[in-house]
Amino acid sequence: MDYVVQYYKAFYEQNINIDIIHCDSDFSKYKVVLSPLMYMVKEGMDEKLKAYVKNGGRFVTTVFSGIVDENDLVHLGGYPGKLRELLGIWVEEVDALPADKRNSIVMANGTVPLSEVMANSGKPPSEEGGARRAGVGFDSEYPCRMLCDIIHPEGAEVLATYGSDFYKGIPCVTKNTYGQGAAYYVGTFPDDSFVTHLAQNILAEVGISPEISPVAGVEITKREKDGVEFNFILNHNTDSTATVDIGADTYYDILSGEHYTGEVEMQPRDVLVLKKKPDYAEIKNYLTPHKYGKPIFSGSGVDGTYNKHGVDCPFVFRHNNKFYMLHVGFDGIGYQTALATSNDLLDWQELAVVLTRDNNKNWDSVGAGGTWILKEDDSIHAVPTLKKVDGKYWMVYHSYPDEGYEAGPAQIGLAWCEDEDLLTWHKLEKPIFSYKDGAEWERGGLYKACILEKDGTYYMYYNAKNNKPHSWHEQIGMATSKDMLNWTRHEGNPIVPTVPDTWDAWFVADPYVVHDGNKWVMYYYGFNRKTAQEGIAYSYDMFNWTKYDEPIISSGKGYNRNITHPFEIAEHELDTQFAHKPSVLKWNGILYHFYVASRIYREGDKGKGLWNDFRSVTVATSKSL
């Protein structure tokens, strides 16, 4: 058993995953199959191994293999029995050494260590230009013991010979090329260093390398589920730290919530469970990890004002040498839309309500929530400014039919403005986009939308809900138009769906879309029926989106993940309940990510929500302010 473990350990300590499999298992999914001391070879196993190696596999076996069948009857025709053709050798006899006696394995052709070979050639032995000759990647000599096969090659390449005794110079390690693969035979009991170097050689030959380089005393195991990789890293050292180089990729530790890259120092008996983020490089330039932590704009708390209970849905842009924030206020009846201004993006002053409630009994008479104004340039690197089409600025808004908080299924409309002070807006008579024409996933009503123009086509991203009161899901869809009035839904909607049992399992909502060259970036928020957090997705064609699988702005400290309702939360950070509803802007090299924060109402807060919450606009940035 120790001999079998020796081979297992040699590969395992290279941080290579090894399966213990049955002889009836499918070998084809493995690049290397190890079977030390394969004493018993049952009927048909030789043909199965030949087929495996012929198709490119590497098979490794050792002394005392191929001796008997499954009934413990000796195979006739000489050793290694039915493995003779595959291994390309004949074993004449076995010399058994006394316990205190040693022979040696002498490698062919004056070999050098594998590390030196790789450093000099830069390529594994299997590649063009890499070292290929027999024995390369080994030391020149290793001790061996106990059993020594007297081997006669029958087509196999000799990798090493014995160093002493009457069989000095006789082969002891061979490699037989068979079809597209090869079969290795080790005819003695070597020391650990030989088996380690053999493992390194074979792994290099088949192109297997550890994701994370080995470290003494540290166990590193990779597992995969649903296409996601996890690396379990355990520092077994009891009295010393260990430095593990996890490389240039970024990993997320699911135990602590921290992100790691490069060298990671682990304390004695420390444990990491790292989830690989292959798409982190795609989104890292769009992250804003520095929370400002204070409200920059909030409701009034005053009866009769548009924002008595709070503010929502910021959209920040620059106009006439000032910053403007389009936003929504809630007064207990419905939404109304207003503007605020600022000179520094942090100190905001109310300007005016620009979409008000009216009594004309139209589809949007209860209120209008403006969420976006058509921009001149949708690049994330361009400061957002407004674009005129047909001499007008265009705002997209949504409206609910009934009084109350988001009461009834909303539809989407457009409003326009010609004057440069942005105070006089005119709503079109009819909605431009309705849930009534949509699929089942959006039949419960529409929410926030953003509209972009590219090469003469308008793209509208919007979130909508299904018609399941008290348990609905919100997801993001897309539609296109040539005139902003007549829209065609994308056949693949919803293009950014919810995913069960994740942080955005119930809502994927409020898209804010920009581009960085040919890459499109969507900020959104996700909700799991407990808390809302900001997320991000990216696309190279505007239709097919890849979501980053963790929040990029998490809800604040104090959130209790065992709560049954989102408002049963301790009074802690500004965004303890919700961190959601994005708007982004880059200014002086800093990316500002505006969002709506929510926590339990405290005495003195401006604006008390219907659920005893305090809702305000705050910001997170790419650099600390």
Summarize pLDDT for 329-360 with one digit per residue, the tens.
999 999 999 999 999 999 999 999 999 998 77
How high does pLDDT run on average in the chain? 90
> What is the per-residue pLDDT for 181?
95
Distance CA 398, CA 353 (A): 16
432 pLDDT band (50/70/90 cuts)? very high
Q: When comparing pLDDT for 620 and 208, which is higher?
A: 620
* Sequence-separated (6 or more) residues with CB below 8 Å from residue 140: 106, 107, 110, 111
pLDDT (mean) for 26-45: 93
> What is the per-residue pLDDT for 155?
95
Q: The tokens of 576 are what?
A: 């303890």
Q: The tokens of 403 are what?
A: 């009084």
Judging by beta carbons within 10 Å of its beta carbon (0-12, 13-18, 19+), is residue 301 exposed, middle or buried?
middle
- Helix (H) or strand (E) holding 3, with range, is helix 2-12
Reading phi first (left if > 0) and then psi (alpha if -120 to 50, else beta), residue 204 is in alpha
> What is the per-residue pLDDT for 260?
85
Q: The tokens of 120 are what?
A: 């000099």
Query: What is the sign of the dihedral through the CA atoms of 57, 61, 67 and 70?
Result: negative
> What is the per-residue pLDDT for 572?
62
Give yes or no for residue 58 having a pLDDT over 90: yes
Distance CA 238, CA 235 (A): 8
Give yes or no for residue 563 having a pLDDT over 60: no
Distance CA 371, CA 87 (A): 72
> What is the per-residue pLDDT for 415?
98
Q: The tokens of 60 are what?
A: 């490794």
Report the candidate in 614, 548, 529, 536 with the shortest Cα–Cα distance to residue 575: 614
pLDDT (mean) for 208-218: 86
Distance CA 62, CA 356 (A): 85
Q: 303-555+578-598 in CATH: which number? A: 2.115.10.20
Q: How far is CA 382 from CA 38, 177, 285, 387, in A?
A: 67, 60, 15, 13
Give yes or no for residue 124 having a pLDDT over 50: no
pLDDT (mean) for 466-470: 90
Residue type at 411 in one-letter notation: Q
Q: When comparing pLDDT for 541 and 259, which is higher?
A: 541
30 pLDDT band (50/70/90 cuts)? very high
pLDDT (mean) for 69-98: 92
pLDDT (mean) for 487-505: 95
State the Cα angle at 553 between 279 and 493, rounded to 5°: 60
Strand-pair partners of 113: 137
CATH 2.115.10.20 in the chain: give the residue spans. Answer: 303-555+578-598
294-317 pLDDT tens trace: 999 999 999 999 999 999 999 999
Residue 445, CA atoms < 13 Å, CB-side half-sphere = 16
Q: Which DSSP category does 87 fall into? A: H
> What is the per-residue pLDDT for 503?
95
State the Cα angle at 489 between 487 and 495, rounded to 5°: 135
> What is the per-residue pLDDT for 227?
57
Q: Which DSSP category does 11 fall into? A: H
* Placement of tokens 């939404």 in the chain: 335
Residue 76 burial (CB count, 10 A): 7
Q: Which DSSP category does 319 fall into? A: E
User: Which option is the CATH number for 2-206: 3.40.50.720, 3.40.50.880, 3.30.465.10, 2.170.16.10?
Assistant: 3.40.50.880
Distance CA 563, CA 359 (A): 42
CATH T-level assignment (fold) for domain 218-278: Immunoglobulin-like (2.60.40)
pLDDT (mean) for 108-124: 48
150-183 pLDDT tens trace: 999 999 999 999 999 999 999 999 999 999 999 9
142 pLDDT band (50/70/90 cuts)? very high
Give yes or no for residue 120 having a pLDDT over 60: no
Give yes or no for residue 132 having a pLDDT over 70: no
Reading phi first (left if > 0) and then psi (alpha if -120 to 50, else beta), residue 542 is in left
440-458 pLDDT tens trace: 999 999 999 999 999 999 9
Give yes or no for residue 110 having a pLDDT over 70: no
Distance CA 202, CA 30 (A): 13
470-480 pLDDT tens trace: 899 999 999 99
> What is the per-residue pLDDT for 122?
40
CATH 2.60.40.1180 in the chain: give the residue spans. Answer: 218-278
Residue count of the chain: 625
Give yes or no for residue 427 having a pLDDT over 60: yes
Q: What percent of the chain has pLDDT over 70?
A: 92
Give yes or no for residue 114 having a pLDDT over 60: no
